[in-house]
Chain A
Amino acid sequence: MIAYVIQRAFQALAVMIVVSLVSFMLFNFVGDPVDNMVGQEATYEERVAMRDNLGLNDPFLVQFARFVGNAVKGEFGISYRIQRPVADLIAERMPATLELVIASAFLSVLLGIPMGIYTGIRPNSWLSRSILVGSLVGVTLPTFVIGILLIYIFSVGLGVLPSFGRGEAVQLGWWSTGFLTVTGWKAIIMPSVTLALFQMTIILRLVRSEMLEVMRTDYIKFARARGLPNQIINFGHAFKNTLVPVITIVGLNLGSLIAFSIITETVFQWPGMGFLFIQAVGFADIPVMAAYLVMVAVIFVSINLFVDILYFVVDPRLRADKTVAAGN
């Protein structure tokens, strides 16, 4: 197991090195960083001094090492657009995005898994059929169309939910939360549903197909022959064995929730990192773009690593295989 974890960790490290290299090259070679920091009137001498100061004349590897060192400390320079440290901007925006992502993840898992189990156990009931037809909508409608639709129904039409922002936020230390106010709860409903719908559909379909597969196996027939109650068969025997692929997908989807939150945040003008990023793309604000890329990659890679390790805990076969392999 340790060998496996180390191998995975090395892979994660490799991904991080490549991503930070890309982000470093973005930072240094796209546009002239000096141009973006000094004013229009700066003389040539001032620019040269600035270049020396920033270490832009050092060898490539030295510069890259310094970039990585700063990135580890969370320093990504100063935003061209807002003229404030990128680290501060991201720290301000992160709670909003994470709360949105966590709410959506909960929503998609809490709705997706039960519906998947139900449609897997009773594939022919009318409820299952309507759930499946409905899930087709979730796959086809692009995220932003769902958002627009919800805004049109609940904000323009019924006028019950706010169409933008995250309501009143309460400051808890450096973390600002919207979960403590009524307006905050109201504001997160539509964005989290929008973000969750697609992931929920994927989870639902996955659980369903896995359940259908498991229900056909001999050990389920045997459990029935033994006269076990349905509840134990469905949850204790069948569902437990669908968990491995489900955990993978849920884990990986957490990452794509962060990516797709860019769209949701734009539709609902949610003051999170995704909204910050899309504004940065519009203004060619390279430090923010670079920092966002590195940060999303860190989150992604750690989730992947975590999911890989979780396999061992959930699936005893993997452990057994490895011991057999080691024994040979």
Chain B
Amino acid sequence: MIENQSGLAKINDLAFRIVDSDLFYSFSRNPIVVVSAVITFVFIIAATFAPWLAPHNPFDPASLDLMEASTPPVWLEDGMSKFMLGTDDQGRDILSTIMFGSRVSLIVGFSAVLFSVFVGVGSGLLAGYLGGWLDTVIMRLADVQLAIPAILIALMINGVVAILLPPQLQHEMAIYVLILAIGVSDWPRYARVTRGSVLVERNKEYVAAAQVIGVHPLFIMLRHVLPNIMGPVLVMATIGLALAIITEATLSFLGVGVPPTTPSLGTMIRVGNNYLFSGEWWITFFPCTALVTLVLAVNLMGDWLRDALNPKLR
């Protein structure tokens, strides 16, 4: 039956499975989560298609006019209808800059989480399944790193790698350095949780069965154990995404993250902060709001996911 299915029927089948699942039921019954998901989705769409959706291109110097710098939002006196949320000190449209800025924030956030999940889950699997000296080494390393707060680790790595890079590459590579720094700063949490779950799974019968028929350990880890421990990892990754976005914004706010030429939300807040005292609150207020909304939405989804995947609460 499965072999003869057409593509459309397969998609139909998949859609039915999703809609019919417990997870989707709990999702549709929770209005706050639905709203959060919609907000996150809007952010992702706006960020992905920013070059086409944004009303202005804030990185095209030809389109910038210093006469239009520091225009207030449209509903205030002196506001201009073409700049919904006003402009910054260089005449860049705030709304467009937020869209491009969320792009940087989301790219860094997602990539950093992928990096820490890859390293953390990988090392946790090896440590938990193989045990022995490898387990000791990996978990001691995680312990050492957990003894120091993640934000400090990210700051250190970011600072050191930036020094090691040749000066002309520093600006281009800033985003990758940031992803590495944030990714490395967060792997021990994943390693710990993964190892804990693997230790439980390892003693179950399906693993013993696979071992008895001579399946390669790597295959057991990836195809049998890994799918069964994805629940907690997924929950951590969702909350980790919110955390990574905040960390990126913080580093950029401190002036050691993304350079002002390709601003992220944090860079925008840093720049706008200088204009707080001269009364141009909108330069920093709207990026702050965007950041907080995005983080709140992701956090709420993470909270829901934790409860929805927790068998005790079903």
Contact = CB atoms under 8 A, between A and B. Distances in A.
Q: Do A and B come from one complex?
A: yes
A313 interface: no
Contact of A300 (B148, B291, B295): B148
B159, B164, B246, B288: most-surrounded residue (chain A CB, <10 A): B159
A149 to B, nearest CB: 8
B41 to A, nearest CB: 19
A297 B256 contact: no
Contact of B143 (A15, A144, A255): A15
Contacts of A151: 276
Contacts of B114: none
Contacts of A5: none
A282 interface: yes
B299 A139 contact: yes
B152 A148 contact: no
Contacts of A282: 255-256
A293 interface: yes
Contacts of B147: 15, 297, 300-301, 304
A284 interface: yes
A262 B140 CA distance: 27
B148 A281 contact: no
Nearest to B272: A148
A297 to B, nearest CB: 6
For chain B, give the interface size range: 35 or more
A105 interface: no
B146 to A, nearest CB: 10
A250 to B, nearest CB: 15
A18 B144 contact: yes
Nearest to B152: A259
A284 B288 contact: no
A296 interface: yes
Contacts of A156: 276-277, 279
A34 B151 CA distance: 30
Contacts of A26: 160
B118 interface: no
B30 to A, nearest CB: 16
Given A278-B254, A281-B159, A15 B144 contact: yes
A255 B144 contact: no
Given A145-B269, A282-B255, A260 B151 contact: yes
B250 interface: yes
A140 B156 contact: no
A148, A255, A284: most-surrounded residue (chain B CB, <10 A): A148
Interface in B107-158: 140, 143-144, 147-149, 151-152, 155-156, 158
Contacts of A281: 155, 158-159, 256
A31 B164 CA distance: 7
Contact of A296 (B152, B254, B295): B152
A55 to B, nearest CB: 23
A321 to B, nearest CB: 21
Nearest to A22: B156
B250 A142 contact: yes
Contact of B276 (A30, A148, A284): A148
A11 interface: yes
B291 A14 contact: no
Nearest to A253: B149
A106 B246 CA distance: 25
A296 B148 contact: yes
B249 A142 contact: yes
Contacts of A141: 292
A68 interface: no
B140 A259 contact: no
A114 to B, nearest CB: 25
A289 B156 CA distance: 8
B253 interface: yes
B296 interface: yes
A143 B276 contact: no
A155 B250 CA distance: 22
A278 B143 CA distance: 25
Interface string A286-320: 10010001001100110010000000000000000
B304 interface: no
A152 interface: yes
A217 B273 CA distance: 50
Interface string A133-173: 00010011111110011011001100000010000000000
Contact of B149 (A14, A139, A256): A256
A142 B295 contact: yes
Nearest to B273: A148
A263 interface: yes
Interface string A25-43: 0100011000000000000
Contact of B250 (A136, A144, A296): A144
B144 A14 contact: yes
B27 interface: no
A260 B150 CA distance: 10
A154 B284 CA distance: 17
Contacts of B143: 11, 15
Contacts of B140: 14
Interface in B242-293: 246, 249-250, 253-256, 269, 273, 276-277, 279, 281, 284, 288, 291-292
Given A144-B269, A263-B250, 9 more contacts: A19-B148, A30-B160, A30-B163, A136-B296, A139-B299, A156-B276, A259-B149, A262-B155, A300-B148
6 contacts: A14-B140, A18-B144, A30-B160, A142-B291, A144-B253, A156-B277
